[in-house]
Structure 1
Amino acid sequence: MAGLSPSPAPPRITWQELTVLPAVVLAVLLATWLWFRRATLDRVSEHALSDGQVSKALWRHVELTAVSTFFALVTAIPLGILLTRGAFRKATPVAMALADTGQATPAIGVLALLVIWLGTGVRAALIGMIVYAVLPVLSNTVAGLRANDPALLEAARGIGMSPLGVLGRVELPLAVPVILAGVRTALVLNVGTATLATFAGGGGLGALITTGITTQRMPVLILGSVLTVVLALLVDWLASLTELLLRPRGLEARGS
């Protein structure tokens, strides 16, 4: 009787994938540090960057990105699975249209409405970020599950797998690369969206950027911008490595 088993060959990660982007990030950080050593900081700039405010803003930015992405995943992936099951398939166009509408709405407008509804604070910022992160994960989950070979799924059912077993052992593993691509997009998108969280009272690196703009202090603006770019690059790099490591090693037929 035919069965399915993972092949033993693990995905390979090249040295370029491991080193090139971190080297670029280090070069950018070094150049920024050297520039700061030569820059003249007045009292306004020193006050904006003192008392650990930079590290606090960076940590809050990471926290906002991680928490919002987590809630986007636990919302979008189960919903994507549900929309590919039985009668729920008919609701897929409506659900995707709603998700597209949320994505097309300007982020600052969504945050403004949430602030009016919920008041300023982290909660309003997180809900706005989750709305924007749901779409890429949801659409990629649906696309990945729909792209599975029907013949392979039928073969899995033919060897006695239950619907839940087919989903967990065949469908989801095969859809992992597409789903992870959506997660990677959501993470990088959230790093950018988190800079707007400051307008909802959520903090983050956006606070440094807005302070630099409103006070016309270039060192503060540059530091906030560079750290945001570096964080986005690092998140994308880590997500790409995770995507490679979690990529299924393939399914091959074997006799039993």
Structure 2
Amino acid sequence: MGVLADAWDWLANGANWSGESGVWHRLAEHAFVSGVALALACAVALPIGLWLGHLGKGGALAVNVSNVGRAVPVFAVLALFMVSPLRSAGYVPTIIALVLFAVPPLLTNAYVGMREVDRAVVEAARGMGMSGRQLFLRVELPLARPLVMTGLRSAAVQVIATATIAAMVGQGGLGRIITAGFNTFNTPQVIAGALLVAALALVVEGALVAVDRLLWRSGAPAR
């Protein structure tokens, strides 16, 4: 409990929150990198997963290919980019590595969510004369939403947690607080940095849950 108390004291110290090395600045860096990476991963994975799930073709191959990204250490990808011409491109190497890491859960859940839609419901919608577009937007997508959102929350948490390793290659983010604590043998600072990352992940996940419920209630059909 002594170390946790010391970590709390570190967080309660206003001096640790200001300046370029302070919490607010590192938090903004972390949120920026994580947000851009997650947005790009969604733009790539969700349309592919949803469309392949709608067609029922090629999804298994796409999921297996995307899952290769899970077997590649993100730090190794970052290190590879840092010795390439991209090393002078700011956060680009970190964002690319995080996108590769976030695509698998997004793509997998989007595809599986579409394929698990009750076929009887789909056939009934077709029998009512719905077009492929109407079937996708009004039947399959709403029913696949829970799994799609689960994949989004999982990817968000993974990206936020993994973004801390950007500090290992000299990039910013909350990971810099942790590495600075290691370099100075300041255990309370290390724990404080880890708590900040965990808190950010929980806040983002909670926000996604709230948005999902809000959108579902506003878009739910009247009874």
Common fold: TM-score over 0.5: yes
Q: Which residue is 1:36 aligned to?
A: 10
CA contact (8 A) 2:17 2:24 kept: no
Q: Percent identity?
A: 35
- 1:95 partnered with 2:62: yes
Q: Which residue is 2:124 aligned to?
A: 155
CA contact (8 A) 1:181 1:243 kept: no
- 1:173 partnered with 2:142: yes
- 1:133 partnered with 2:105: no
Q: Which amino acid aligns with 2:116?
A: A
Q: Secondary structure at the match of 2:53?
A: coil
Q: Which amino acid aligns with 1:112?
A: A
Q: Secondary structure at the match of 1:192?
A: helix
* Residues 140-174 of structure 1 deviation map (CA, whole Å, 9 limit, x = unaligned): 00011001111111121222211011101111111
Q: Which residue is 1:189 aligned to?
A: 158
Q: Of the two, which has the highest radius of gyration?
A: 1
Q: Secondary structure at the match of 1:220?
A: helix
- 1:222 partnered with 2:196: no
Structure 1, unpaired ranges of 5+:
1-30, 40-45
Indicate how the Cα distance of structure 1 residues 144 and 199 shifts in structure 2: closer, same or farther if over 3 A, else same. same
Q: Which has the higher helix share?
A: 2
CA distance in 2, matches of 1:246, 1:141: 18
**TM-align CA RMSD:** 2.8
> Which structure exhibits the higher relative contact order, with contacts defined as CA atoms closer than 8 Å and separated by 6 or more residues?
1
Aligned-residue offset at 1:81 = 2.1
Which deviates more from structure 2 when the two are superposed, residues 94-103 or residues 183-192?
94-103
Q: Which residue is 2:213 aligned to?
A: 244
Q: Secondary structure at the match of 1:228?
A: helix
Q: Which residue is 2:74 aligned to?
A: 107
Q: Which amino acid aligns with 1:172?
A: L
Which deviates more from structure 2 when the two are superposed, residues 242-251 or residues 61-70?
242-251
CA distance in 1, matches of 2:207, 2:95: 22
Equivalenced residue count is 215
Q: Which amino acid aligns with 1:242?
A: V
Indicate how the Cα distance of structure 1 residues 34 and 138 shifts in structure 2: closer, same or farther if over 3 A, else same. closer
CA contact (8 A) 1:115 1:200 kept: yes
CA contact (8 A) 2:81 2:93 kept: yes
CA contact (8 A) 2:75 2:165 kept: yes
CA contact (8 A) 1:156 1:166 kept: yes
CA contact (8 A) 1:122 1:201 kept: no
CA distance in 2, matches of 1:85, 1:35: 53
Which deviates more from structure 2 when the two are superposed, residues 237-246 or residues 95-104?
237-246
Q: Secondary structure at the match of 2:172?
A: coil
CA distance in 1, matches of 2:212, 2:18: 38
Structure 2, unpaired ranges of 5+:
none
Aligned-residue offset at 1:98 = 1.6
CA contact (8 A) 2:29 2:173 kept: yes
